[in-house]
Structure 1
Amino acid sequence: MKNKSILELADAKAIAAAAEAEALKNSWAVSIAIVDDGGHVLWLQRLDGAAPISAQIAPAKARTAALGKRESKVYEETINNGRIAFLSAPLEGMLEGGVPILKDGMCLGAVGVSGVKSTEDAQVARAGIAAIGL
């Protein structure tokens, strides 16, 4: 039997605070979602001015990153490179902006961000993850 690390509420709060700070520093109105390794939402916040749809897209990106154990960007690139059959995969957030939270090769969950350019969404997600030293 193996032991595994899990995200706790304190981790989610730290990630969210750092992600929010990164977004605010750049004047980006985004939604930020944090999920566990099963893709279940632990935290969701929509910053002032963020589009309502971003509150649905951010958790989808996070879920995709957590379940796939890789950035959601990988799926977007796969489809853009011609493998359109991948659109039938049972994932919703196959756009850049979902970043897995990895520790010792294990996926603890993910952060998904939506509201600005996809590279900027990913930047906000990475800033959040960095707050817990990963």
Structure 2
Amino acid sequence: MKKLLFLVLMALPFLSYAQTKPYLTLADAERITAAAEAKAKAEGWNVVIAILDDGGHLISLKRMDGVQIGSIEVAQAKAKSAVYFKRSSKVFEDAMKTEGGSKIATLPSAVGVEGGLPIFKDGIIVGSIGISGVTSAQDGIIAEAGVKGY
């Protein structure tokens, strides 16, 4: 009986633990992907859509028909940059165009190409989206449509 009581008391902190911060679910990622894909299709653009969680881990990846395989890694890199730095990858693209902006290229995981956006819920970062396959400005338009779909 003492062992059982001891085990119950030891387990209480773990049993009472609950996810209290917002997070991105698979259903959320699929909804964001669908919104981004709808915008891409409406414009006639084929892209790769990567959705990451708040730790930079892949939740979903969609490669539309005909997209070059290099865009798979680029979309993920844009999304990783957005989640790691909590800002659009376009911020780095713009900064690289300024004097001394080449220093941005030395930052680990910073991608200076538009198409990566952080995703927030209740002011807390829950993940990111990265798009690659067309021009960086077009990638950014699709990423924005995806975030709006959240």
TM-score of the superposed pair, with normalisation by structure 2: 0.83
Please say if 1:15 is aligned against 2:32.
yes
Report the Cα distance in structure 2 between the residues aligned to 1:129 and 1:71, rounded to whole angstroms.
12
Per the alignment, residue 26 of structure 1 pairs with 43
Per the alignment, residue 7 of structure 2 pairs with none
Alignment length (residue pairs): 131
SS at match of 1:102: strand
Deviates more, 1:79-88 or 1:30-39: 79-88
Report the Cα distance in structure 2 between the residues aligned to 1:85 and 1:19, rounded to whole angstroms.
31
Deviations 1:44-66 (A, max 9, x none): 11100111111110000000001
Structure 1 vs Structure 2 CA RMSD: 1.4
Report the Cα distance in structure 2 between the residues aligned to 1:91 and 1:57, rounded to whole angstroms.
11
**Identity in percent:** 44
Alpha-carbon distance, 1:77 to partner: 1.1
Among 58, 61, 71, which residue is 1:41 paired with? 58
Report the Cα distance in structure 2 between the residues aligned to 1:17 and 1:102, rounded to whole angstroms.
18
- Structure 1, unpaired ranges of 5+: none
Runs of 4+ in 1 over 3 A off after TM superposition: none
Please say if 1:57 is aligned against 2:74.
yes
Report the Cα distance in structure 2 between the residues aligned to 1:94 and 1:53, rounded to whole angstroms.
16
Deviations 1:73-99 (A, max 9, x none): 101111111221221110153210001
Please say if 1:81 is aligned against 2:98.
yes
- Structure 2, unpaired ranges of 5+: 1-18
Report the Cα distance in structure 1 between the residues aligned to 2:66 and 2:110, rounded to whole angstroms.
24
